[in-house]
Amino acid sequence: MTHHPGPPADAGHTSHAPDPVPFGARLRAAMDARGPLCVGIDPHASLLTAWGLSDDVAGLERFARTTVEALADRVAVLKPQAAFFERFGSRGLAVLETAVAEARQAGALVLMDAKRGDIGSTMAAYASAFLDAGSPLFSDALTVSPYLGYGALSPALAAARESGAGLFVLALTSNPEGHEVQRAADADGRTVAETVLHHLAEENAGAEPLGSFGAVVGATLGDLSAFPLSVNGPLLAPGIGAQGATPADLPAVFGDAVHNVVPSVSRGVLLHGPDTTGLRDSAARFADEIRTALG
């Protein structure tokens, strides 16, 4: 039989890669499969010491690798805090690159906690570093600061849409100092936090099953019913564990938006290392408590 080759691949049409699955859809699937839990990777000096590690790049690498190996195949989200890697310079960033790649390869979504916020080309450069699929630090989502004006986040929003990544925008943080900015009101009485949340609701309008643009809202803040938390996007809720909040507090804090909450635990899990079983058991306990609290 004579083989007749078909037309060249580019004959008559242009092929292109399929659009990436948006972060919100991937997050919902991960939380449904693995439970709604985000575990921080925060290798600050006291935790390295608690693990019996040296406060240097070798200790950092051991800490990061142990945490990723213990948890990346079973928790929905891992959240490295960039500052604790950056403090060791280029070698610390190399450890961070490896941790991100290995965590994603094992199936965890990686939320880079870097809280970047700037204007114009500088914001675009931050977006390129963390939200460009070709970057060695590419993450599934990034924390960002809106306090140079929400519109200044435009380069990050555009980059996230293109790569299928997400953003978590600071809105109602748990630190006491945040109140003077986040709860400051304009002439119409709307607070800065409400303005941020309204913008996020607009970004996520029509997205199913969940938008990709979320807010950071502290789990320690008590009743937040005065704020429009139902933004059709995820709500990263730090403060569970060492900061004093418990999974049982979540329904009272988040109300109708509680099923979009991504509770975040760092020290509450990490203090059980470096034993792999201790890390896994602690994460599993938090995940079970959160499932129970959310019904």
Q: In the annotation, is 79 catalytic?
A: no
CA–CA dist 191, 87 (Å, integer) = 34
CA–CA dist 52, 129 (Å, integer) = 32
What would the 3-class secondary structure string for the chain be? CCCCCCCCCCCCCCCCCCCCCCHHHHHHHHHHHHCCCEEEECCCHHHHHHCCCCCCHHHHHHHHHHHHHHHCCCCCEEEEECHHHHCCHHHHHHHHHHHHHHHHHCCCEEEEEEEECCCHHHHHHHHHHHHCCCCCCCCCEEEECCCCCHHHHHHHHHHHHHHCCEEEEEEECCCHHHHHHHCCECCCCCEHHHHHHHHHHHHCCCCCCCCCEEEEECCCCCCCCCCCCCCCCCEEECCECCCCECHHHHHHHHHHHHHHEEEEECHHHHCCCCCHHHHHHHHHHHHHHHHHHHC
Q: Catalytic: which of 65, 91, 104, 115?
A: 115
Enzyme catalytic residues: 115
